[in-house]
């Protein structure tokens, strides 16, 4: 997605609230043996969800799929997790096109896969999510942005 049509900035408070909402949806699915966070986006949500579900065992699947210009490139698996995922919970911030989710799902087919945000193309690959956003929306997570002046919408439309 090199030229998103819409942007959706997410604050730390909103992310925390949505991660907690995801934990509420997951509580009946467990208990889980542990959590697998998909790096890097799944790290912060996984920490919040681990606290809320009282899960102490956390591992990571390390992936690289986006470049700095928002383009989704070739997926590189930097670190895997052994096993088939039975009894485990996979956490990521977002499922977008589903390319990364497919790699993780193939790696851990028996795990429960949950994300905070889901776009239509990737939604079928996750078991649980909180908020659906349109495919043409780029989500700016709080670790990717800084506070700065923003032009009013009316001025953006004129320019």
Residues 37-61 have pLDDT tens digits of 999 999 999 999 999 999 999 999 9
| Residue 4 pLDDT greater than 70, yes or no | no
Say whether 144 counts as a known binding-site residue. Answer: no
Say whether 115 counts as a known binding-site residue: no
15-19, 60-64, 129-133 — which is least confidently predicted? 60-64
What is the pLDDT, as a whole number, of residue 153? 82
119 within 8 A of 137, measured Cβ to Cβ: yes
116 annotated binding-site participant: no
CA angle 10, 16, 19 (to 5 degrees): 100
pLDDT of residue 1: 43
Instruction: Tell me the percentage of the chain whose pLDDT exceeds 90.
Output: 75
- Report whether 102 belongs to an annotated binding site: no
pLDDT attached to residue 3: 53
Query: Are the C-beta atoms of 75 and 100 separated by less than 8 Å?
Result: yes
Please list the active-site residues: 92-93, 96
Instruction: Categorize the per-residue pLDDT at 72 as very low, low, confident or very high, splitting at 50, 70 and 90.
Output: low
pTM of the model as a whole:
0.85
């Amino acid at each position: 997605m090199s030229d998103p049509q819409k942007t959706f900035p997410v604050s730390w408070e909103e992310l925390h609230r949505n991660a907690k909402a995801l934990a509420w949806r997951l509580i009946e699915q467990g208990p889980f043996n542990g959590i697998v966070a998909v790096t890097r986006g799944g790290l912060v949500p996984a920490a919040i969800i681990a606290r809320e579900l009282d899960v102490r065992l956390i591992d990571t699947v390390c992936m690289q799929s986006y470049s700095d210009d928002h383009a989704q490139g070739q997926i590189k698996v930097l670190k895997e997790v052994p096993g088939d995922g039975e009894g485990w919970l996979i956490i990521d911030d977002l499922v977008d096109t589903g390319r990364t989710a497919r790699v993780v799902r193939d790696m851990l087919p028996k795990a429960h896969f949950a994300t905070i945000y889901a776009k239509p193309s990737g939604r079928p690959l996750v078991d649980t999510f909180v908020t659906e956003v349109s495919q043409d929306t780029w989500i700016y997570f709080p670790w990717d942005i800084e506070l700065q002046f923003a032009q009013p919408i009316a001025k953006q439309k004129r320019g």
